[in-house]
Amino acid sequence: MARAESLRIVHLDAFTAIYHRASGITHLLASPAPEILATLGEAGLSRADLAAKLAAQYDMADFDAAALAERLDELVVSGLVATA
Amino acid sequence: MGGVVKGGRLLARALRDPASVTTLDATGWTALLQIARAEQLIGTLAARVQGLKMPPDAARILTDAAASIAQQRIAALWEAEVARRVLKPLGVPVILLKGTAFLAAGLKAGVGRSVGDLDLLVPRERIGDVEAALLAAGWEWVKPDPYDDAYYRRWMHELPPLIHRERDRMIDVHHTILPLTARITPDAQALIADSLPFSPEPGALRTLSPSDMLIHAAAHLFADGDLAGGMRNLWDVHCLIEEFGVAGLTQRAQHHGLWREVARAARLAHELYDTPIPETWRIWDSGDPLYMRRLTARDGWGRRTRPLTRFGFYVRSHWLRMPPAMLARHLWTKWRNQGAVGD
Amino acid sequence: MRHAFSVRIGPVGFRIGSDWRAPVAQLETLYADYPKPEIPDFTVRLFAARPWRRFVRPSVTIEGDFVLPDAAPLPLAQGLLAAEMGMNLQMALGQRRFLLLHASAVERDGRALLMAGVSGAGKSTLAALLSARGWRLMGDEFALVDPATGLVHAFPRLVSLKNTAIGVVEAALPNARYGPLMAGTPKGDIRHLVPDAAAVAAMNEPVPPALILFPSYGFEAESRAVPESEVFVRLTQASTNYVAIGERGFDALTRLVKTVPARAIDYPDTESAIAQVEALWAAL
């Protein structure tokens, strides 16, 4: 179960600039991180639900579970995603 | 009364009696702001005088100071949150100290307060685990060979300082509060036993009990012989006494061996800020006037007028991609020529 | 402090205290046409670190509201430089109202051109030369962007010219006022140009930015568009207070990046640079 924290998101051409309100830190993220954050939203999702939604919304069917787990862990470490 | 109020007394009066600033002229305001900045109390001043009649320049400067403090607050609370997440699996009580504690607990002492490093208190027997967890999570030693540092061998009430490699912020992990002499050692276990959690959730951060917070603030004031930052420490003491009163304080302070320090801090806070303390506490001892003079010795340029060391308002800043060393190069590359000038 | 000087430059007021008369006298002369602040935003102190340093090989230690520890002092002959460095330092470490960018700024037709880049890229020189060609000088060291409005505020300090740039600018602006020539500084010769009356008169008129340039000196003339993401990164590197001002900084910078075109220009000499700048501006 993970959820995205309160974020300001601005898409720039090569990457997405994200201002994380709780920390004051600006992150520069490339795909698929912004899509993961957008899908998680503030309410959060279980990992299984997240994978399913990403596949459906963003045409990421080939995105394997291991890669998704890694990306998610990176976002958790950076503080952009909190786990329940 | 007669006579001009100057130096630290000017700042104390403004904090104690905010309406008094409406009588200041431009020179008075310039001095007040300078001294407030030098004493790291400009955010507090901004909060105290908000809404009062003042020159537009002063209003603007205080608004900017308040905005700066607000951002520092965000960064400080985030540091505490990251530490909480990293240390939660250890099942260790983690107690916030000083400014971060005041902010997190929403105390009066936290209003307008500038906060720098994160200070934590953990049980001595678990400090090794805490150190390992922080190092694994991206903190690193500030000095290359920390345990050789004589200071830490001598005092050993805290780990050598750690700094986070990406966020560039320092964390100080203590296992007791400042022991002022080798003979007097505060009861660290009692500090932890009486600490209070922010929430019933497992792994929630904690604060010291109100009495212990007060005792810690007082001990801190006297740990530095120069009394640098003394006016702010005493403002902390003032706010804590206003908020919690002094019930049980004498006994608890005696238990920690710090009653003399607490009593003196209370007297000095009363003198500066009109802190409500019991009548029987108000009897001055011969050392008090010396402390008062040292605490309030600032001129209109914010300089210590009887300096033991050169005092500078030192700011550690956090660049997105430019650490302080690089900024120094940015601005000073041209002029860094150690051998040619100066001593 | 023995000697004191104060000046308001754009929206920021400074107070400078000095143990010596000379730097203050120079500041008074060069900033003679500038207004004075009621209450200064920042204070700089120029002082002798040891009592005898006022007289014996006098050296100026710089402090103020904000200090960089371990900064080396300067000889008294460069006292004016020390004052200017001190003011730079206060802005770099203490400015919180405006997003601060290391960039020069000039204005034409009510819009601002920002030139961002590292030292030596030519921001100061180009700004000075453009001011000889009908552009209003807004500043050569820092551009101030108001997060609330997106406007650029002028901050016209003395323009710092180095080595060969001194002669080039003196030739283009023979009737301008200059500070003393300070030879033999660690970076060579330095001379300050005083912003002209038009720059001082208009310094409280902010304008919207219309073009961002990243100039590079010493290459064949060329220009390319810079994509948004690269502009964002380069401007955070060029900002000393982006992090400190929090969400307002994010607002100011993303708005700047998304609404103002940016180009990188390489130039072999100042004539080429000026030509490129004028052409790019005309094509907007």
| CATH of region C99-282, choose from 3.30.450, 3.40.50, 2.60.120, 3.30.70 | 3.40.50
Could you tell me if A5 lies within 8 Å of chain C, comparing CB atoms?
no
Strands C74-75 and C99-108: unpaired
Nearest by CB to A24, which of B74, B82, B85? B74
pLDDT at residue C232, rounded to an integer: 95
| B320/A22 Cβ within 8 A | no
pLDDT at residue A78, rounded to an integer: 78
Helical H segments across B95-187, by residue range: 98-104, 127-136, 150-155
pLDDT at residue B180, rounded to an integer: 52
Nearest by CB to C89, which of B331, B333, B336? B331
pLDDT at residue B176, rounded to an integer: 83
ipTM confidence score:
0.90
Helical H segments across chain C, by residue range: 21-30, 79-94, 123-131, 164-172, 197-201, 228-237, 247-259, 270-282
* Segments making up each domain of chain C, as ranges: 3-94, 99-282
Nearest by CB to A24, which of B75, B82, B85? B75
Nearest CA of chain C to the CA of A8: how many Å? 9
Nearest CA of chain C to the CA of A57: how many Å? 25
Q: Which of B140, B145, B136 is nearest to B165 (CA)?
A: B140
Q: Per-residue pLDDT tens for B170-188?
A: 998 988 887 655 566 789 9
Q: Is the pLDDT of residue B328 over 60?
A: no
Q: Per-residue pLDDT tens for B256-309?
A: 989 998 999 999 999 999 999 999 999 988 888 888 888 898 888 888 776 443
Helical H segments across chain A, by residue range: 33-40, 47-58, 65-78
Inter-chain CB pairs, A–C, below 8 Å: 37
Residue with tokens 């001011």: C131
Pick the range with the lowest mean pLDDT from A2-11, B35-44, C188-197: A2-11
* Closest A-chain CA to B78: A23
What is d(CA C169, CA B246) in angstroms, rounded to the nearest whole number?
A: 69
Nearest CA of chain B to the CA of C253: how many Å? 13
Strands C42-47 and C12-18: parallel
pLDDT at residue B150, rounded to an integer: 54
| C257/A24 Cβ within 8 A | no
Could you tell me if C199 lies within 8 Å of chain A, comparing CB atoms?
no
| C254/A17 Cβ within 8 A | yes
| B312/C69 Cβ within 8 A | yes
Measured between alpha carbons, how far apart are the two ends of chain B, in Å?
Answer: 46
Q: Per-residue pLDDT tens for C140-153?
A: 999 999 999 999 99
**CB-CB neighbors (< 8 A) of B82 in chain A:** 23, 79
| A10/C258 Cβ within 8 A | yes
pLDDT at residue B335, rounded to an integer: 35
Neighbours of C266 (CB within 10 A): 18
